[in-house]
Amino acid sequence: IHAAREGGWDRVVAVFQPHRYSRTASLWRDFADAFTDADLLVLTDVCAAGEAPRPGVSGRLLVRAVLDAHPAASVVYLPHRADVVDVVPRLTRAGDVVLTLGAGDLTTVPDEWLGADAEVGSG
Task: Please check whether residue 22 is in contact with residue 57, taking contact to mean a CB–CB distance below 8 angstroms.
Answer: no
At position 57, the amino acid (one-letter code) is V
* pTM, full prediction: 0.90
Positive or negative torsion for Cα 3, 8, 12, 14? negative
DSSP-derived 3-state class of residue 76: strand
To 10 degrees, the CA torsion angle through 96, 121, 17, 20?
-160
pLDDT band at 121 (very low <50, low <70, confident <90, very high): very low
Residues 6+ apart with CB under 8 A from 48: 20, 21, 104
Which pLDDT score is estimated for 76? Answer: 98
Which pLDDT score is estimated for 117? Answer: 57
Examine the pLDDT at 114 and tell me if it is beyond 50: yes
Comparison of pLDDT for 21 and 116, the residue scoring more:
21
Which pLDDT score is estimated for 103? Answer: 84
pLDDT digits (tens, 9 = 90+) for 100-109: 999 889 989 9
pLDDT band at 6 (very low <50, low <70, confident <90, very high): very high
At position 70, the amino acid (one-letter code) is H
Cα–Cα nearest to 103, from 16, 41, 9, 3: 16
Alpha-carbon distance of 33 to 87, in angstroms, equals: 24
Which pLDDT score is estimated for 122? Answer: 43
